[in-house]
Copies of this chain bind each other. A is one copy, B any other.
Amino acid sequence: MKIFSKIVMAVAGLTLLATPAFAEKVVKWNLAMTWSSTLTPLASPAPKLAKMVEAMSDGKFIIRVEGSEKHKAALGILDMVSGGQYEMGHSAAYYWKGKDVNSVFFTTLPFGMTAAEQYAWFYYDDGMDYMAQVFDKFGVLSFPGGNTGVQMGGWFRKEINSLDDLKGLKMRIPGLAGEVFSRLGVNVTNIPSGELYTSLDRGTIDALEWIGPGMDIKMGFHKIAPFYYTGWHEPASEMQFMINKRAYDKLPPAFQVMLQTAMRAVTADMYSENFADSVNAWAQMKSEYPNIQVKTFPTPVLKAMKQATDDVMAENAAKDPLFKEILASQQDFMAKARAWTIISEYNYVKTSMELGE
């Protein structure tokens, strides 16, 4: 198309210069995902975005999507997008807390906002501004990239009746939740995903946290650990699109808007995909393994988890003024938002339950 473009430019002159988006050469980008290409729904948004952008640009903006099975750097996505080896990435912001602890605010927090609350904070409160501020130093633009909704608290071989039952328990649970459990005396370990089933089956670990029914069912944990605990630690895990800022700035404006629009579309889509997966997987699990018991941690355990979470947050806030500021923004918004959630959707579901639905 390069030759045609030159001819067009010569013929059309200044008029065509004003709308250069589709007269120039094909733009080819690479996008690296934290996930392997088959790990849907986490691996769904990026390929869908690529298809949308290619179709909308009439084949003039091509994004090649690469899963972790290819680039072998699941947790190197920020570096690779920042450095320009890949123009885009799809991951989750809390993986970068070693580089900047403030990145944790853009995924989810223990006892934090629900998906609806968090999206309102992102798009109609301060969320997007703070995210831009945190990722600017990496030369990276950051955007929401899909949400898992409430993640389950994990699969346990034994019931947890008290704080004592947590002491010495061997559990696979990463991130902030792992830190919280660790403070409560849990022996927190990390184990590669491929070894989790065997570790749980053989008793190398007593419990593990994964995601929710939709993704858990493929792992088979429900066959060997009868207690499925409800969630507290990742109420609305948001995935993340990253774009190298220099590459973005060079795009024709039309392509920039295509990216922005497609990111919003696939972000909403992943939430629905994961929700539907969990709906169907949970129905199947309950039917095939009727002995699965859904449990909620006892209130004293939850209170201790909450206290440990508050302690971790306060320690970080004392060290970092921006952390303190973003935490306050989230807490202020969440207080208002939860009041609305309670009288609207929470109350609605409660009413339906009382009517025996």
Least Cβ distance of A217 to chain B in Å? 12
Given A114-B348, A230-B351: 13 more A-B contacts, CB < 8 Å: A11-B11, A52-B261, A56-B56, A56-B257, A122-B272, A123-B273, A124-B272, A262-B265, A279-B336, A282-B339, A299-B354, A302-B355, A342-B349
Q: How far is the CA of A336 from the CA of B284 in the complex (A)?
A: 10
**Closest B residue, CB atoms, query A337:** B279
The complex places the Cα of A294 from the Cα of B269 at a distance, in Å, of 34
Chain B residues near A59 (CB, 8 Å)?
19
Q: Contact at A271–B343, with CB atoms within 8 Å? A: no
Partner pick for A7 among B11, B58, B275, CB 8 A cutoff: B11
Chain B residues near A22 (CB, 8 Å)?
Answer: 21-22, 58
Given the interface pairs A52-B261, A296-B347, A344-B152, the reply to whether A58 lies near B19 with Cβ below 8 Å is yes
Instruction: Among B55, B150, B278, B299, point to the contact of A348 (Cβ < 8 A).
Output: B150
CB within 8 Å for A232 and B351 given contacts A4-B11, A282-B343:
yes
Q: Which residues of B contact A149 (CB under 8 A)?
A: 116, 344-345
Q: Does A258 contact B (CB under 8 A)?
A: yes
Taking A55-B257, A124-B272, A261-B56 as contacts, is the C-beta distance between A352 and B340 under 8 angstroms? no
Query: How many angstroms from the CA of A124 to the CA of B303 in the assembled complex?
Result: 37
A212 part of interface (Cβ distance < 8 Å) = yes
CB contacts under 8 Å to B, within A254-307, are: 254, 257-258, 260-262, 264-265, 267-269, 271-273, 275-280, 282-283, 286, 294, 296, 299, 302-303, 306
Contact A269 B123 (CB under 8 A): yes
Cβ contact within 8 Å between A306 and B350: no
Is A343 a contact partner of B294 (Cβ separation < 8 A)? Answer: yes
Name A316-357 residues within 8 Å CB distance of B.
Answer: 333, 336-355, 357
Encoded as 1 (CB less than 8 Å from any B CB) or 0, chain A from 118 to 133 comes to 0110111100000000
- A210: interface (CB < 8 Å): no
Nearest neighbor of A7 in chain B, beta-carbon distance = B11
Which interface class (under 10, 10 to 19, 20 to 34, 35 or more) fits A? 35 or more
Report the bound CA distance from A21 to B213 in whole Å. Answer: 43
Decide yes or no whether A15 CB sits under 8 A from chain B.
yes
Scan A234-270; emit 1 where CB is below 8 A from any B CB, else 0: 0100000000000000001110011011101101110
Q: Is A27 part of the contact surface with B, judged by Cβ < 8 Å? A: no
A22 to chain B, nearest CB (A): 4
Against B, the Cβ 8 Å flags (1 = close, 0 = not) of A85-124 are 0000000000000000000000000010011110110111
CA A96 to CA B143, docked complex, whole Å: 37
Rounded to whole Å, the gap between the CB of A85 and the closest CB of chain B is: 27
**Alpha-carbon separation in the docked complex, A294 to B341 (Å):** 13
Closest chain B residue to A278 by CB distance? B340
CA distance A279 to B340 in the complex (A): 6
* In the assembled complex, A231 has its CB within 8 A of some CB on chain B: yes
Q: List 7 A-B contacts (CB under 8 A).
A: A1-B15, A4-B11, A4-B12, A8-B11, A58-B253, A261-B262, A283-B339
